[in-house]
Amino acid sequence: MIPLTVTLAAAALAGTAGGHFNPLHHSGAASPYFDAPSQFGISPSTPPQCVVDQAAYIVRHGSRYPEPGSFAGWQALFAKLQNASYTARGPLAFLPSWVPPVDDIPHEPLFLSSTGSTEAFSLGVQLRKRYRFTAGGDNFTVWAAGQQRVVDTATYFLQGYLSQGNYFNEPEKNRGTIVAMPDSVNYTFADSLTPSTGCPAYGSGDTSSKANDYRAAYQPAVARRLNQYLDGLNLDGSDIAVMQDLCGFQSEIDGDIRFCDIFGESEWKDYEYAHDLNYYYGSGPGNPFSATVGYPWIQAVTGLLLRGPDNRRNGDNFVPPPLVMSFTHDNDLPPVVSALGVWNSSLSPGIFPLSTNGPDARRTFRSSNLVSFRGYIALERLSCDSQAPPSEVEHAAGHVLPAPGTTASAEKYVRIRINNAVVPVPGCTTGPGESCPLKAFAAHVRERLAVAGDFVERCNLQDVMNATGTLDIFTKVPSEKAQSFTLVVPQPYAVTVP
């Protein structure tokens, strides 16, 4: 007879290796980046008759070490394991030798891991190749909330985006500028990449404590199951919380997945659903002020898409690039989902609002597919011909034919990507690749204002001097209201070749 412990571990490894179930794709905000699966059956490829001529992204920072509060939980678990005499066997046999994966406490907690820097660098390379917006030697500007891990993510993104050619000793070429915004302050209001902090009413709508109730309901049973592999030590629900967090964190810090292997698929789905409840009711559609704080970004970006990639308008003191990149935190992505009106359809009764009793497999709001490390929401403007390119094309010598979607008659459309998966605009999928005509998308955004409301009024800021509901950081650089500062990377340096 094969021991049960071996069978469980083998099953977990087989599920991960075979692609059937990967805990790292169900770890909510602790998930290292992965491309989300398509929930709507729409190919992420650009339709053949189209080209993306403009895009805007809002991106969570890359994978990081734990925040100090979470790290305290890791240290408490380590102390519990080391201060007891016990026997551990089977899938828990590694616990007596486990140590927290932080070896430089003053410099690691809160900050990017090497995985996070790689994720950001890779995104820069991917988007440079995907869109080909920026010619070699051209400079490029991005925007970031001002906390170090966010600015560092933007920096590594720029290093990847601009990582071609030899421009190190030409400081006027191939430089990236980061417009860094004050992070999590209350005086920038909507003119921010962390606008919830500038909305005093926002906290009153946060009912994310429902996630804690759900955790308290499932974690004790998990602890009882694992305790059969321990003599002389008992795990409790708080230990389970830390151990499941360590699956995602330790895998991205040092590649250790042993905590991933000790939980079953149903336990991972409960863990993920607790994250879903946390974000849905904390910063997502379950918070009545979520759309309010997410709408300014949608409104500002839609204005850029309507004006097109040149983005010139009288009164602007800056012309943003055709690829508009915003870097921020996990809790600042669900409000954008709320403002767009996706993943929370009233046409799906019984699914939304999310139940606190247990997950419904039909739900589209899944935290792992949104707020994973380096998770993002993107709006792409498609320029499309009326028909796909012909299978046979004649060429005259010395004449480059227009690429699909670049003719004067091309029509404009918008698609939403969330962690690469295409998410349809509700009720607007008539364009190529189930995209939405640009003018119809703009109308959809205007209609969403009825849900979002006026930022100043809904946030009770009518009597606050200089309160604003407008996000203007993409055309006002630096933004006076947001008090941004700029950082240029990379710095030129001298190279001596022997």
How far, in Å, CA of 245 to CA of 69, rounded?
A: 13
Q: What is the mean pLDDT of residues 295-307?
A: 97
User: Of all residues in the chain, what percent carry a pLDDT higher than 90?
Assistant: 84
Q: Give the mean pLDDT of the chain.
A: 92
In DSSP notation, 420-443 reads TEEEPBTTB--SGGG-EEHHHHHH
Catalytic status, residue 61? yes
pLDDT at 496: 53
Answer for the pair 382, 429: CB distance below 8 angstroms, yes or no.
Answer: no
**Partners of 325 in the β-ladder:** 57
Catalytic status, residue 330? yes
Span 431-456, pLDDT tens digits = 999 999 999 999 999 999 999 999 99
Tell me: pLDDT of 169 over 70: yes
pLDDT at 150: 98
| Owner of token pair 């999590």 | 184
Residues composing the chain: 498
DSSP H helices, 85-208, are 114-131, 148-161
Q: What is the mean pLDDT of residues 165-191?
A: 93
| Owner of token pair 């950082």 | 487
Tell me: pLDDT of 10 over 60: no
Tell me: pLDDT of 12 over 50: no
Min mean pLDDT across 16-25, 325-334, 465-474 is at: 16-25
How far, in Å, CA of 294 to CA of 298, rounded?
A: 7
Answer for the pair 380, 57: CB distance below 8 angstroms, yes or no.
Answer: no
Burial class (CB in 10 A: 0-12, 13-18, 19+), 48: middle
Strand 176-181 and strand 421-423: the pairing is unpaired
User: What is the Cα Rg of the chain in Å?
Assistant: 24
> Which domains, and CATH codes, for the chain?
1-30+67-110+209-282 (no CATH), 33-64+112-206+288-387+404-491 (3.40.50.1240)
SS3 of residue 55 by DSSP: strand
pLDDT at 222: 98
The residues near 224 (Cβ < 8 Å, ≥ 6 apart) are: none
Span 222-272, pLDDT tens digits = 999 999 999 999 999 999 999 999 999 999 999 999 999 999 999 999 999
How far, CA to CA in Å, does 159 sit from each of 137, 175, 321, 331, 474?
A: 13, 9, 17, 26, 21
H or E stretch at 88: strand 87-88
How far, CA to CA in Å, does 364 sit from each of 292, 298, 355?
A: 21, 20, 13
Q: What are phi and psi of 475, to 5 degrees?
A: -120, -10
pLDDT at 346: 58
pLDDT at 6: 32
**Alpha carbon 469 to its chain's center:** 23
> Among the options 25, 26, 53, 61, which is catalytic?
61
How far, CA to CA in Å, does 485 sit from each of 115, 178, 468?
A: 27, 8, 19
Residue 123 banded pLDDT, cuts 50, 70, 90 = very high
More confident residue, 233 or 489: 233
| Owner of token pair 């209001």 | 189
pLDDT at 9: 35
How far, CA to CA in Å, does 103 sit from each of 14, 106, 107, 250?
A: 31, 9, 9, 13
Omega of the bond leading into 424 within 30 degrees of 0 (cis): no
Q: What is residue 393's DSSP assignment?
A: -
Q: What is the mean pLDDT of residues 44-57?
A: 97
How far, in Å, CA of 455 to CA of 182, rounded?
A: 19
How far, in Å, CA of 69 to CA of 307, rounded?
A: 44
> Among the options 183, 239, 330, 385, which is catalytic?
330
How far, CA to CA in Å, does 138 sit from each of 130, 173, 174, 176?
A: 17, 6, 5, 9
Q: What is residue 90's DSSP assignment?
A: G
Answer for the pair 51, 433: CB distance below 8 angstroms, yes or no.
Answer: no
How far, in Å, CA of 134 to CA of 154, rounded?
A: 17
Span 355-413, pLDDT tens digits = 999 999 999 999 999 999 999 999 999 999 999 898 999 999 999 999 999 999 999 99
Span 184-216, pLDDT tens digits = 999 999 999 999 999 999 999 999 999 999 999
Q: How many CB atoms lie within 10 A of CB 193?
A: 27
Q: What is the mean pLDDT of residues 121-130?
A: 97
How far, in Å, CA of 256 to CA of 262, rounded?
A: 13
How far, in Å, CA of 371 to CA of 27, rounded?
A: 10
Span 271-285, pLDDT tens digits = 999 999 999 999 999
Copy the structure tokens of residue 203: 């906290």
Strands (DSSP E) contained in 263-372 are 323-328
The residues near 341 (Cβ < 8 Å, ≥ 6 apart) are: 291, 426, 444, 448, 451
Residue 492 banded pLDDT, cuts 50, 70, 90 = low
How far, in Å, CA of 89 to CA of 99, rounded?
A: 17
| Owner of token pair 């950001």 | 120
How far, in Å, CA of 124 to CA of 70, rounded?
A: 29
Helix axes 68-82, 237-254, angle to 10 degrees: 110
What is the pTM (predicted TM-score) of this model? 0.94
